[in-house]
Amino acid sequence: MTTKEFSRHIENTFKECLVLAKKKNADYAGKEDPFKNFDSVKLIGVDAKHGIMVRLMDKITRIGNLLEKEPKVVEEKIEDTINDGINYLAILKAKIHDENR
């Protein structure tokens, strides 16, 4: 892979992640509160940032498992799980920004 191909691949990944994040946010949250589903963990005494981290760890664990064996859920490929992980990091960054403004 050349440096140009590498950069194009990274750019395409970010574009895919943004499309996915917008779709999932429409399903899970709301127009007025993009963190609605993450804030719901407060009901069990967990702050939203740590709730996001738990979901991120689920993705990291799944990626680690998929690097070792074939998935049983073939509808979600390792690339999908990686994109979810990228999005959880971006969501965490946005949540931190939101709380610090």
CA 81 to chain CA mean position, Å:
8
Question: Which tens digit of pLDDT belongs to each residue from 24-61?
Answer: 999 998 778 999 999 899 999 999 999 999 999 999 99
| Per-residue pLDDT at 74 exceeds 80 | no
What ranges in 29-77 are assigned the alpha helix state H?
36-39, 48-68
Residue 80 CB burial class (10 angstroms; 0-12, 13-18, ≥19): middle
Percent of all residues in the chain with a pLDDT value above 70, rounded to a whole number: 100
